[in-house]
Amino acid sequence: MTQAVIAATGLFTPEQSISNAELVTAYNAFADRYNADHAAEIEAGAVEPLTHSSAEFIEKASGIRSRFVLDKAGVLDPSRMAPHLPERSNDELSILAEMAVKAARQALERWGKPASEIGAVICAASNMQRPYPAMAIEVQQALGVEGFAFDMNVACSSATFGLKTAADFIASGSVKAVLMVNPEICSAHLNFRDRDSHFIFGDVATAVIVEAADQAVDGWEILGTRLKTVFSNNIRNNFGFLNKAALPTGGTEPVAATGLTDKMFVQQGRKVFKDVVPMVAEMIVDHARDLGLDPAQLKRLWLHQANINMNELIGRKVLGREPTPEENVIILDDYANTSSAGSIIAFHLHQDGFAPGETGLICSFGAGYSAGTVFVRKRA
């Protein structure tokens, strides 16, 4: 069985970002307009008024301070509160593929080998632009890759599921190298008119090249991968090809009033926290011990960037103590939750300081519920 290695990573970050203060200003302006338009119903007790958001509330609830987005103006327009991303013709490179290609080209540059040596492309993301043709095949064509390509969606765990799939392809001898991309336009699925979730997501794309160990120069040996799914409705998005209703882009009605709330991201945050944290911590510890690793000795955790409180608690449970910022990487403050890409961003930006033989963990968790663990060891 051929050993798989993470040989290179890449990251595309949009040029535009939105601070908590900017996001709050837009939301509060919307709330004020809504309350004014429904003043009579509110006074009569028939309608609940919308309360203001605040930068302090957002940071305390999530650890997020800002987020990168593809379109800032549309999100911050109180009469729209959604990104404005014009549809492209079928002959143009799609937005999602364009993001993925930019991240992939950075990974290829770091890898130092031509795209022609890639045997498969996996687009693993939670917010696909279309059902078909597969985004991965479009990326494959844009990069000039032979072989095969396909999409996969396991929500926020898509990247770790993609890494396991890539490692399995390497182990079986199907290909010598796999490109996995995680383009996420999360802002298009976020309800910016909901105070409890309007701050959660950002846009980004990541890329990982997984290669056979006998071909790799250095990189990270994949020691083991493990996946888990448990069905839950506590995180859900019902928008798909069966939904013909257009998302609202004007007026002062909250999305709930349009009947389209669950066509975008919705969650029961407290239930998710209660269910997911122990499930993931136990999964990490059990997997580490099955691999003969002491979880307390892991040099670094690159966890899914969902919520700082979840990440900190998982870190404490896994390491058995309070982790240092170097041990439990947090990039939420700058990037917010970027779904499948979060753990890969953390790994891409914070993989320095490892001596050969030292180990770390890439881990994701999210809707499904789904969770994935990928233990890696720095190669000589």
Known catalytic residues?
A: 156
User: CB neighbours (10 Å) of residue 6?
Assistant: 25
Nearest 5°: the CA angle 97, 103, 108 is 115
Closest to 192 in 3D by CA, of 254, 238, 246, 269: 254
Closest to 29 in 3D by CA, of 17, 21, 40: 21
Describe the strand order of the beta sheet including 370-378 as a list of residue ranges: 148-152, 120-124, 177-185, 203-212, 4-12, 220-229, 370-378, 359-366, 300-303
Report the alpha-carbon distance of residue 188 to residue 83 in Å, rounded: 6
